Amino acid sequence: MLSIDPNTQSERDNYKLLTGSIIPRPVAFVTTLSKEGVLNGAPFSYFNIVTANPPMISVSVQRQAGNQKDTARNAIGAGEFVVHISDETYVEAINETAAPLPPNESEIELAKLTPIKSEAIAVPGVQEASIRMECVLERAIPLGGTEAQPACDLLIGRVVRFHVAERLYEKGRIDAEGLQPVSRLAGNSYAKLGEQFEIVRPT
């Protein structure tokens, strides 16, 4: 086995080890509203569940040369955002939204996605997703880097409304095959849902 001390290599090399090892990662497509009312959208694969009590999710948004990305700035400013589950039907459009547009331009318009009003928050979602979650910002935690210049903003969102396509929902469970989720591997590689199997937990 190779033994690698992260302190002896570059941030880029640590990034490659993390993004190549922690796979497959689910991809959150996140919409936010700027102060000026521009609907922003971008994908994030540093994404997971925090707890179900109450339902909370996390999205880690990296800073660029110390500057917050639009998603972090808007989510912190408005205290709200929408998380959509990426799937095969609109992954190409999601990828287009990763373009680094200036804050006054909407990636949603660029990628021709369709805004849809939220019920519990002011930030719209997009209609193309089969699952979306309206979130209220529970906490934003600057982490990494230095105190003066953190490396990222860890956004913790409390889900205040789930929207699920009826065809995917049965007795409170989600049809994984029907969802066609897309996950991210390293670089430009993605993965579809693979073969499923079950393992019964010991009691």
Ligand X SMILES: Cc1cc2nc3c(=O)[nH]c(=O)nc-3n(C[C@H](O)[C@H](O)[C@H](O)COP(=O)(O)O)c2cc1C
- Rule CB under 6 A: say whether 33 interacts with ligand X: no
Cα–Cα distance measured from residue 137 to residue 59, given in angstroms and rounded to the nearest whole number: 11
Sheet holding 131-143, edge to edge: 39-44, 28-33, 80-85, 131-143, 152-164, 55-62, 47-52
- Rule CB under 6 A: say whether 132 interacts with ligand X: no
* List of E strands, 24-95: 25-26, 28-33, 39-44, 47-52, 55-62, 80-85
| Burial group, residue 187, by CB count within 10 angstroms (0-12, 13-18, 19+) | exposed
The helix/strand/coil state of 158 is: strand
- Rule CB under 6 A: say whether 81 interacts with ligand X: no
Query: Would you say 24 or 175 has its CB closer to ligand X?
Result: 24
Of 39, 58, 69, 130, the residue at the interface with ligand X (CB under 6 A) is 69
Contact criterion met (CB below 8 Å) for 156 and 58: yes
- Rule CB under 6 A: say whether 84 interacts with ligand X: no
Cα–Cα distance measured from residue 110 to residue 108, given in angstroms and rounded to the nearest whole number: 5
Cα–Cα distance measured from residue 9 to residue 89, given in angstroms and rounded to the nearest whole number: 39
Q: How far is the CB of 86 from ligand X (least distance, A)?
A: 7
- Rule CB under 6 A: say whether 180 interacts with ligand X: no
> Which listed range, 39-47, 127-135, 156-164, 166-174, lies at the site for ligand X (CB under 6 A)?
39-47
> Which listed range, 93-101, 118-126, 159-167, 171-179, lies at the site for ligand X (CB under 6 A)?
93-101
The helix/strand/coil state of 43 is: strand
- Rule CB under 6 A: say whether 126 interacts with ligand X: no
- Rule CB under 6 A: say whether 34 interacts with ligand X: no
> Which listed range, 1-9, 42-50, 155-163, 193-201, lies at the site for ligand X (CB under 6 A)?
42-50
- Rule CB under 6 A: say whether 44 interacts with ligand X: yes
Cα–Cα distance measured from residue 132 to residue 163, given in angstroms and rounded to the nearest whole number: 5
The encoded tokens of residue 105 equal 């331009």
Of 61, 83, 108, 113, the residue at the interface with ligand X (CB under 6 A) is 61
> Which listed range, 4-12, 56-64, 117-125, 162-170, lies at the site for ligand X (CB under 6 A)?
56-64
Residues that bind ligand X (CB under 6 A): 27, 40, 42-46, 60-62, 69-71, 95, 98, 100, 184
